[in-house]
A and B are shown apart, each in its own frame.
Chain A
């Protein structure tokens, strides 16, 4: 298993540790926010265990929870959910 996988975040290719969650990968890639509140405030994973729903992102076009989804090579992530 490679140590890293490449994913695209809002169109930008980044390398992140293989096997980590999407929420962790975004953090690793220096993305502080996974989405924005209605007033534009940045939001990010709070609980990390599928309860708060703050880390939801669009993964390959489908809205999912970043903390409960493992990264995979070539994954497309959109922080517009």
Chain B
């Protein structure tokens, strides 16, 4: 048979697209070479956060967070969706100025934030170190447990008629079909490549690089933390260049554990935990949460963010290959933006009104014939 759409990759982005297209009535087949949500999705923090350091990122993340809020009542309890909010922490007056600018930018996308004084900060999060300058509280942000959310989206896709096949590896993308590792071929009108860091294995010209991250989770203990806490310097770490960086980013888990991030490196392609990076991660976190000194680390792991040269995802047609669509390169924001990505891709593929401007994410910006595609 010929599917309307084959989706390559069963991370949270691929699962969201399968769900969206199946609901639209398409004959959808999702192919995952390992297990659903087993790679970057499982490694990630699941922080559903509106980021604003460029207008494209702001519109995609704000739209997506709103979609998560709509979906939240239907999510299973095991998806652990919680409205923790985000508390962006300022260390000094300059960062407090940045908090004020951030509030303005978020407001332009309809996202409310409130500036927090040092005294309010101490009330909201008593475990924070004294001497901080304040922060910005965004109450609408949330957290979710990504692998469960991905699997749930896949089940919804199946309920809407999609096929979801795990343990099926795609070896190559042909002309209107995909070649499987077992030699089989599956035909489809559209092939949507949503396999994160593995994109270049199938489409050599797509510029996605792995950016390694470390996370660490503690055992259940004090101190209690209420919000997802992120230092305002985080964006500098996230987008500041190709060098290694560490930023304070802590998530309270419903169990009483703390999930600690975050590190960024391009130069290490091995999945092993580097003690040197973990030491930096913990030291950074202790600057903000001194009581971490008494906590016990339970586990640490690593994952790879699929990163594009301009840090914006690739969502839309890949001009170099007719019938091939990309939904990849989400870097550290794939869980947050999975639902917006699915809506934007579906709108383009089905020729529906776009939920927001698609141009900043157009893969054509990196296609070999990019100028031609833009002119067209």
Contacts and interface: CB of A to CB of B under 8 A. Distances in A.
Contacts of B219: 53, 56, 63, 81
B296 A38 contact: no
Residue from A38, A56, A63, A64 whose CB has the most chain B CB atoms within 10 Å:
A63
Contacts of B299: 53
Interface residues of A, number: 6
Interface string B203-225: 00000000000000001110000
Interface in A12-64: 38, 53, 56, 63-64
Nearest to B254: A38
Given A63-B219, A63-B221, A56 B255 contact: no
A63 B296 contact: yes
Contacts of A53: 219, 298-299
Nearest to B299: A53
Nearest to A65: B296
Interface string B290-301: 000000101100
Contacts of B296: 56, 63-64
A61 B219 CA distance: 15
Nearest to B218: A63
Nearest to A37: B255
Nearest to A51: B299
Contacts of A81: 219
Contacts of A38: 220, 255
Contacts of B298: 53
A70 B301 CA distance: 28
Interface in B287-324: 296, 298-299
Nearest to A53: B298
A81 B255 CA distance: 13
A12 B116 CA distance: 49
A56 B298 CA distance: 10
Contacts of A63: 219, 221, 296
A68 to B, nearest CB: 13
B264 to A, nearest CB: 27
Interface in B176-232: 219-221
B273 to A, nearest CB: 14
Contacts of B221: 63
A12 B219 CA distance: 25
Contacts of B255: 38
Interface of A: 38, 53, 56, 63-64, 81
12 contacts: A38-B220, A38-B255, A53-B219, A53-B298, A53-B299, A56-B219, A56-B296, A63-B219, A63-B221, A63-B296, A64-B296, A81-B219
Given A53-B298, A53-B299, A56-B219, 9 more contacts: A38-B220, A38-B255, A53-B219, A56-B296, A63-B219, A63-B221, A63-B296, A64-B296, A81-B219
